[in-house]
Structure 1
């Protein structure tokens, strides 16, 4: 019996890879844009890396994800860096600007 699955496997894998790269680039771009729009002294106030370091990390990760794909080692590092920024640094900056503290 002949199966038709191998005939379109390459196309499906290509489209899934493109969707994963687009999704990871969106997450990284949101993190980068948020970092650009924040004040530099806020990063020191919450005790994290300076703004310039975060900008460099996020920019290099975006370029490496674009060049190597989202499922490569550099793409996964880029997604991890963007998620660390969005889930750790961003709430700290938001709480600092609201004046409510971390709780």
Structure 2
């Protein structure tokens, strides 16, 4: 399979911490990134919950985040395949 190069710039401290973490897990950062990409493709989503630093948000924002999490876990909540489908439902 042909290979492609993926380059990105990140803060040097983040790279250092990531390298240390992944090395402690027995893999390198490149392998960790490949794992992330494969899981994102397999699951068709970001393969983990994105959690913002909570000290940066007001109580009302944190309550909204918690409500959104609750709704996302509710199997009976209506869901949409894409934004177009959501907008069409809003217009109805």
TM-score (norm 1): 0.25
Kindly indicate whether structure 1 or structure 2 has the higher relative contact order, using CA contacts under 8 Å at least 6 residues apart: 1
Task: State the TM-score, normalizing by the size of structure 2.
Answer: 0.27
Larger fraction in helix = 1
